[in-house]
């Protein structure tokens, strides 16, 4: 390992202890490295503005930080076990190439605010990605809600309940993912605050130009208080995972529908062939593995949230425990976004089996229509309900799914989906 930033004379480092301290941290830092470099550039500019580094040193440092970023992207620079973490790697490179200018870069900052700012930028990017994916999913659902509506049995308790439609199903998931896109954006706005310049969590005896770094890094505001900056580590990660979890909960229920609807017992839906797999032993099988893994992806997101929550049983101020939040965060987002990313295409190409859906609509499913028609004619609803219950088996006489759907005029229901309203909200959330 390169020389440790905090190495003291006379204290030898123990390899096993170092491995435990650093663990996979330097590998995880690859995920945050470009953001760390970006924030380092803003910090260097800030230092130049208060005369800690000269204009020439500033230019050299910015150039070298750009070069490091390019080398990292192109694979010429590996962030590996030679370094304790990404932060040390940046300082080591700047010092190696620029000497004293590199040795000045850490003036007025700590790895504590450095990891905070890199993570904050990463979270913003992930939430923007989440919002974009939810928007894309909602867009497909909205488009498919405008397809010719096919009758679909509506279930409660998994028992046949009333006639519904594919359009209502699509519009339902459209509104869900519009909400999820909005939640991702709101969360992004909520965490859009700059922690850089809070140093170890107590500020420094330097008039750091924090307003400059806030602007340069594109933050909406300053995270003012250094103690709060440290308190927000983990808290903001949880907020982001909650936003991701909201979308994954909707995905889980959608995937559940698809896994049921693709069984021979329902047979309502045909998935695009690429989204199904065969069995290694049963030649007859086509399995909906992709939707099952989509359904299971919520577990990874919830686990990440829970792991970070467990870590946060801490007093104020930086504690090394927080390092473990990074692995959970990266894994949670990777899993959740990967599941969402496949959804637009799958939904675009999903096919309904009109005949099977019609066959599953039984006469008793019109009983609610019958009772309400009687109530409209003046019979007290409870009385109409009892009469309809007694004759439920013949409720379908002279009725069709289309007529039932056409009469479902309550706002939002099959005859009044209010797609224009949903589309308007959706359009306002465009990335």
Contact with ligand ARG (CB under 6 A) among 320, 409, 410, 411 = 320
The Cα–Cα gap between 193 and 170 comes to 36
Give residue 408's region: left, alpha or beta (phi > 0; psi -120 to 50). Answer: beta
CB atoms within 10 A of CB 17: 9
Is 221 exposed, middle or buried (CB count within 10 Å of its CB: 0-12, 13-18, 19+)? exposed
54 is catalytic: no
Among 322, 339, 346, 367, binds ligand ARG (CB under 6 A): 322
From the list 10-18, 238-246, 315-323, 360-368, the region that binds ligand ARG by CB under 6 A is: 315-323
35 binds ligand ARG (CB under 6 A): no
Q: Does 335 bind ligand ARG (CB under 6 A)?
A: no
The runs of H, that is alpha helices, within 25-110 are: 25-49, 55-73, 86-98, 100-103
Distance, in Å, from the CA atom of 382 to the CA atom of 372, rounded to the nearest integer, reads 10
Q: How far is the CB of 131 from ligand ARG (least distance, A)?
A: 26
**How big is the site for ligand ARG, counted in residues (CB under 6 A)?**
10
Residue 287: φ, ψ to 5°:
-110, 145
CA pair distance 63, 67, nearest whole angstrom: 6
Selected catalytic residue, list 135, 259, 279, 316:
279
* Options 225, 323, 400, 402; binder of ligand ARG; rule CB under 6 A: 323
Least distance from ligand ARG to the Cβ atom of residue 333, Å: 16
Nearest to 199, CA basis, from 119, 316, 108 = 108
Catalytic residue status for 279: yes
CA distance 82 to 93: 12
Q: Which stretch binds ligand ARG (CB under 6 A): 136-144, 253-261, 322-330, 374-382?
A: 322-330
Site string for ligand ARG, 59-98 (x = CB under 6 A): --------------------------x-------------
Contact 60, 86 (CB under 8 A): no
Question: Which residue among the candidates 157, 280, 313, 410 is catalytic per the annotation?
Answer: 157
User: Which sequence positions are flagged as catalytic?
Assistant: 157, 279
Q: Which residues bind ligand ARG (CB under 6 A)?
A: 25, 85, 111-112, 115, 318, 320, 322-323, 326
């Amino acid at each position: 390992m390169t020389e440790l930033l905090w190495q003291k004379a006379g204290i030898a480092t123990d390899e096993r202890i170092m491995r435990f301290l650093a663990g996979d941290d330097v590998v995880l830092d690859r995920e945050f490295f470009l953001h760390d470099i970006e924030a380092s550039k803003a910090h260097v500019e800030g230092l130049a503005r208060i005369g800690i580094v000269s204009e020439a040193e500033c230019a050299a440092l910015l150039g070298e930080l750009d070069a490091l970023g390019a080398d990292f992207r192109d694979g010429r620079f590996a962030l590996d076990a030679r370094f304790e973490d990404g932060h040390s790697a940046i300082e080591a490179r700047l010092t190696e190439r620029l000497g004293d200018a590199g040795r000045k870069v850490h003036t007025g900052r700590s790895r504590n605010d450095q990891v905070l700012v890199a993570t904050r930028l990463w979270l913003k990017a992930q939430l923007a990605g989440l919002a974009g994916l939810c928007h894309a999913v909602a867009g497909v659902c909205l488009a498919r809600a405008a397809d010719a509506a096919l009758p679909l049995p509506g279930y409660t308790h998994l028992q046949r309940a009333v006639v519904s439609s594919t359009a209502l199903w699509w519009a339902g998931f459209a509104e869900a993912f519009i909400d999820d896109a909005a939640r991702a954006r709101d969360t992004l706005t909520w965490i859009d605050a700059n922690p850089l310049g809070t140093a170890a969590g107590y500020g420094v005896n330097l008039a750091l130009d924090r307003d400059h770094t806030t602007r340069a890094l594109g933050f909406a505001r300053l995270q003012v208080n250094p103690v709060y900056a440290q308190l927000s580590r983990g808290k903001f990660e949880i907020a982001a995972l909650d936003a991701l979890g909201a979308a994954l909960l909707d995905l889980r229920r959608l995937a559940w529908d698809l896994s049921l609807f693709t069984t021979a017992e329902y047979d309502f839906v045909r998935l695009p062939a690429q989204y199904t797999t065969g069995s290694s032993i049963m030649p007859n099988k086509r399995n909906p593995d992709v939707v099952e893994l989509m359904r299971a992806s919520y577990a990874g997101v919830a686990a990440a949230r829970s792991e970070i929550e467990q870590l946060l049983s801490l007093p104020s101020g930086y504690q090394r425990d927080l390092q473990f939040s990074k692995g959970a965060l990266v894994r949670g987002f990777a899993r959740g976004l990967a599941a969402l990313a496949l959804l637009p295409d799958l939904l675009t190409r999903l096919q309904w089996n009109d005949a099977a859906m019609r066959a599953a609509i039984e006469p008793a499913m019109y009983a609610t229509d019958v009772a309400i028609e009687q109530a409209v004619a003046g019979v007290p609803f409870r009385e109409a309900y009892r009469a309809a219950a007694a004759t439920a088996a013949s409720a379908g006489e002279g009725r069709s799914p289309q007529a039932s759907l056409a009469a479902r005029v309550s706002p939002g229901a099959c005859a009044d989906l209010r797609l224009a309203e949903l589309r308007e909200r959706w359009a306002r959330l465009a990335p």
